[in-house]
C-alpha cells in the first residue's frame, strides 16, 4: 500500500494533495496539530471561530472529485478541538460539489471538562513528564487538555466504510498505523509490524523534512527546489520504502531519513499508545534512487497510560528589536543595557527576561546589512501591564534619540501577547474512551487488552565499538562529517547527531560525550541532558530538559522550537583524526573493503538463489 502525507503542519503547501494524487497513492494523511496549534485553535474557539483546521476544508475543494474518482482514503487530524464540526463542514462541501463520500469523525481525546475529576483521581499521573513537578494549576486556568489517541479508532472508521476520517489529537504516527493495520488486517498484538508502521509514520509526518527539507547535507545535493511530499510504501511484514511524489526535486536518502528518525524523539524507546518502537533496531538501506527501506523494527506492548497534553495560561510576553550598526558593538550593547536597566525598574519581577543579539556578519567591511546586528529584548510576566506597551516596549522606545549612535527600532512598540504553558503528563487509558461518529451511527472503541503484562524488557543491543584515536588531527566543523537535526517537545529540545559510516560512528561515540556536548553548547550548562546511543542509524540523541523553558508558547527564546539548534551544533569546531576525512587513505581503503564485501554478498546470493 502507498500512503502519502500532504501536511506536516497547519500552513503547509496547498497544492500538496494534487501532487500526491498525481503520484498515485492509496491513502492520504495530513498532520496539522503541533502543540502550539492546539492553543491557537482554542483561542479561535473562544472567539467564536472554527476550532478545527478550516484551511483543510478549503484545501479539499479543488481535489475532492479526484479523491472520489481514484478511490483514495483520507485520514488526518484536522479535527483539532472540533472534529465533529470539521466533518460536518466536509459533508456540506461534498453536497455542494455533488461528491458522494462517507465522512467519519473521532472524539474522546478532549478531557478539558473532566480535568478536575481526573486530577482528583489520577494523583501523580499528572506530574510533568519532563520535570516531575506536581500539577497545581487551577482548572479554570487550563485552556486545553487532550489525550493522545491511537490507531484503532481510525481502523474502526475505515472498517465501517469511511472515505475520510477526521481525527482530533492522535499521535502523529497513528495516522499511518491505522490505515496500515486496516489494509493488512493486523491485530493489536502484531507489535513488530505496528512498530514498522510507527517508524514509517514518523518518517513522513513532517512532509518535506524527509525529502530534502531541513537537511544538514543539503549543500552536497545541488539544487533541491521545493522538496516534494513523501510517500511510504508499506508491506504486510511492517517494512516500508520511503520515497517521494515528484522525481525532479528534493532527495530521499539514508541521510534524509536518518535525520527525520532522530527528529523530536527522546530515548531509543518511542512510546505510542498502540506499540512501543525501539529505534535501536531500525535499519535504513538505500534501495534505489530516492528510495530507502526501513526494516528490522521491533515493537513492544504498550503501557496502560496515554500521553496527556495540558495547556494553561502562562501570563504575557513581549519583545522589541533594536538595530545596532557598524563598530564598537560591545560598547554599544553595554550602554544600551545600562539604559534599559534604568527605565525597566521592575525587570526583577519578570518571570523571564532575555537579550538575544544576532549578527553582525562583518562590522567593518561589506554592505550595511553585513555590518548590522539586532538586539532582541524579550520579557515574560504574569502581569500584562509589566510587559505592555507603556511599561516595556514603549519605555525602551523612548530612549531612541538619547541612546547609542545609529539607534533604531524594527517596528513600533507592540502590546503584550498572551503566553501559555505546555504541560506533558500521563493519563490512565481506562479514563479515555474514543468514539467513531458516522451518519446515523456512533461507535465506542475500547483500548485493546494488552496480552503481555510484564514491563518492557528491551532486546539486548551489543555496545558499539569506540575509537579513541590520538593520531594526527585536523580542525573541522562538526557538520563537515556528521549530520544534525533538532526539534522540540514541550520544554524539551533534542539534538540528534549521526555518522555516515561505521568508523566515523565509532569515533563519534568516544568523542561526543555528555561533557563534550556541554562544552560545544555552553547555553546548556546547568540544564539536565540525557544522552542516548542509537546504533541502528549510527546516531546519538541528546535530550535537553527545560531548554525551551515551559514550551514554545511561552519561551523567551527567539528560536522557541529549537529548529536551529542542530545547525548550531554542526557549526562547532572540533578536532578529528585525519583518517576520518573522505579523501584519506584509510577512508579509501574502507570503501574498497566495503565494496569487496558487497560484491562477495551479491555473488553468494547469486549462487544460493
**pLDDT of 589 over the 70 cut:** no
Q: How would residue 606 be classed by pLDDT, with cut points 50, 70 and 90? A: very low
pTM: predicted TM-score of the whole model, two decimal places:
0.90
Quickly list DSSP for 63-112.
Answer: GHHHHHHHT-EEEE-TTTT-HHHHHHHHHHHHHHHT----EEEEE--B-T
Q: What's CA 18's distance to the chain center, in Å?
A: 24
Q: Summarize pLDDT for 188-245 with one digit per residue, the tens.
A: 999 999 999 999 999 999 999 999 999 999 999 989 999 999 999 999 999 999 999 9
- The reported pLDDT for the residue numbered 608 is 29
Give the residue-averaged pLDDT of 334-356: 96
CATH number, span 473-582? 3.30.70
Q: For 288-328, write each residue's pLDDT tens digit.
A: 999 999 999 999 999 999 999 999 988 999 999 999 999 99
**Does domain 311-421 fall into CATH 3.30.70?**
yes
Q: What is the dihedral of CA 337, 342, 348, 350, to 10 degrees?
A: -70
| Banded model confidence at residue 609, pLDDT cuts 50, 70, 90 | very low
Question: Cell digits for 103?
Answer: 465522512
- At 150-172, the pLDDT tens digits run 999 999 999 999 999 999 999 99
Give φ, ψ of 468 to 5 degrees. Answer: -110, 75
| Res 460: pLDDT | 62
Residue 596 has a pLDDT of: 44
Q: Are 435 and 106 in contact (CB under 8 A)?
A: yes
Same fold flag, 311-421 and 473-582: yes
The percent of residues in the chain predicted with pLDDT above 90, rounded, is 83
Query: How much is the pLDDT for 598?
Result: 45
Cα distance between residue 92 and residue 60, in whole Å: 12
H or E segment and range at residue 147: strand 142-147
For residue 3, is pLDDT > 70?
yes
Confidence of residue 177 (pLDDT cuts 50, 70, 90): very high
Mean pLDDT of all residues in the chain? Answer: 92
Q: Find cell 545541488 and name the residue.
A: 222
pLDDT band, very low/low/confident/very high, at 466 (cuts 50, 70, 90): confident
Q: What residue ranges do the domains of the chain occupy? A: 2-109+148-303, 311-421, 473-582
pLDDT for 457 equals 56
What integer is the mean pLDDT of 491-507? 96
Q: How many Å separate Cα 406 from the centre of its chain?
A: 40
Q: Which of 198-207, 345-354, 469-478 has the lowest mean pLDDT?
A: 469-478
C-alpha distances in angstroms, 57 versus 23, 41, 108, 445, 487? 22, 15, 22, 26, 28
Instruction: State whether residue 573 is helix, strand or coil.
Output: strand
Amino acid at each position: 500500500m502507498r500512503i502519502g502525507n500532504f501536511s506536516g503542519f497547519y500552513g503547509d503547501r496547498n497544492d500538496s494533495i494534487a501532487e500526491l494524487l498525481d503520484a498515485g497513492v492509496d491513502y492520504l494523511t495530513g498532520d496539522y496539530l503541533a502543540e502550539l496549534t492546539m492553543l491557537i485553535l482554542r483561542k479561535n474557539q473562544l472567539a467564536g471561530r472554527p476550532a478545527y483546521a478550516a484551511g483543510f476544508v478549503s484545501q479539499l475543494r479543488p481535489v475532492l472529485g479526484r479523491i472520489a474518482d481514484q478511490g483514495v482514503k483520507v485520514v488526518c487530524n484536522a479535527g483539532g478541538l472540533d472534529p465533529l464540526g470539521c466533518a460536518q463542514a466536509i459533508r456540506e462541501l461534498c453536497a455542494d460539489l455533488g461528491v458522494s463520500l462517507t465522512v467519519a469523525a473521532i472524539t474522546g481525546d478532549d478531557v478539558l471538562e473532566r480535568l478536575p475529576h481526573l486530577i482528583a483521581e489520577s494523583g501523580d499521573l499528572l506530574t510533568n513528564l519532563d520535570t516531575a513537578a506536581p500539577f497545581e494549576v487551577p482548572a479554570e486556568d487550563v485552556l486545553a487538555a487532550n489525550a493522545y489517541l491511537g490507531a484503532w479508532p481510525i481502523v474502526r472508521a475505515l472498517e465501517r466504510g469511511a472515505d475520510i476520517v477526521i481525527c482530533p489529537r492522535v499521535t502523529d504516527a497513528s495516522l499511518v498505523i491505522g490505515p496500515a493495520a486496516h489494509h493488512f488486517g493486523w491485530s493489536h498484538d502484531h507489535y513488530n509490524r505496528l512498530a514498522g508502521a510507527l517508524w514509517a509514520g514518523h518518517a513522513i509526518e513532517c512532509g518535506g523534512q524527509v525529502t530534502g527539507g531541513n537537511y544538514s547535507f543539503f549543500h552536497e545535493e545541488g539544487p533541491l527546489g521545493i522538496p516534494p511530499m513523501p510517500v511510504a510504501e508499506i508491506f504486510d511484514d511492517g517494512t516500508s520504502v520511503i520515497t517521494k511524489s515528484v522525481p525532479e526535486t528534493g532527495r530521499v536518502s539514508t541521510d534524509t531519513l536518518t535525520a527525520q528518525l532522530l527528529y523530536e524523539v527522546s530515548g531509543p524507546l518511542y512510546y505510542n499508545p498502540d506499540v512501543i518502537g525501539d529505534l535501536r533496531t531500525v535499519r535504513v538501506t538505500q534501495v534505489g534512487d530516492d528510495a530507502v527501506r526501513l526494516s528490522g523494527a521491533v515493537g513492544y506492548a504498550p503501557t496502560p497510560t496515554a500521553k496527556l497534553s495540558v495547556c494553561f495560561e502562562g501570563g504575557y510576553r513581549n519583545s522589541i528589536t533594536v538595530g545596532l550598526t557598524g563598530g564598537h558593538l560591545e560598547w554599544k550593547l553595554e550602554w544600551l543595557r545600562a539604559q534599559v536597566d534604568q527605565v525597566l525598574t521592575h525587570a526583577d519581577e519578570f518571570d523571564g527576561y532575555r537579550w538575544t543579539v544576532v549578527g553582525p556578519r562583518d562590522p567593518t567591511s561589506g554592505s550595511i546589512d553585513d555590518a548590522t546586528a539586532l538586539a532582541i529584548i524579550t520579557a515574560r510576566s504574569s502581569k500584562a501591564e509589566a510587559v505592555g506597551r507603556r511599561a516595556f516596549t514603549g519605555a525602551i522606545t523612548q530612549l531612541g534619540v538619547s541612546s547609542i549612535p545609529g539607534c533604531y527600532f524594527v517596528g513600533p512598540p507592540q502590546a503584550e501577547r498572551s503566553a501559555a504553558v505546555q504541560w506533558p503528563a500521563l493519563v490512565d487509558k481506562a479514563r479515555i474512551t474514543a468514539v467513531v461518529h458516522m451518519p446515523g451511527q456512533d461507535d465506542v472503541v475500547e483500548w485493546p487488552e494488552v496480552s503481555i503484562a510484564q514491563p518492557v524488557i528491551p532486546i539486548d543491543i551489543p555496545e558499539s565499538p569506540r575509537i579513541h584515536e590520538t593520531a594526527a588531527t585536523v580542525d573541522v566543523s562538526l557538520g563537515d562529517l556528521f549530520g544534525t537535526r533538532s526539534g522540540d517537545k514541550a520544554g524539551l529540545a533534542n539534538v540528534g547527531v549521526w555518522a555516515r559510516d561505521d568508523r566515523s560512528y565509532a569515533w563519534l561515540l568516544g568523542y561526543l560525550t555528555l561533557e563534550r556536548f556541554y562544552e560545544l553548547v555552553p547555553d546548556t550548562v546547568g540544564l539536565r541532558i540525557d544522552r542516548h546511543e542509537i546504533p541502528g542509524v549510527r546516531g546519538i540523541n541528546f535530550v535537553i530538559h527545560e531548554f525551551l523553558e515551559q514550551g514554545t508558547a511561552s519561551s523567551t527564546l527567539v528560536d522557541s522550537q529549537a529548529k536551529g539548534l542542530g545547525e548550531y551544533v554542526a557549526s562547532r569546531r572540533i578536532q578529528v583524526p585525519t583518517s576520518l576525512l573522505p579523501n584519506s587513505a584509510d577512508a579509501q581503503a574502507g570503501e574498497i573493503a566495503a565494496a569487496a564485501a558487497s560484491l562477495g554478498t551479491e555473488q553468494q546470493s547469486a549462487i544460493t538463489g
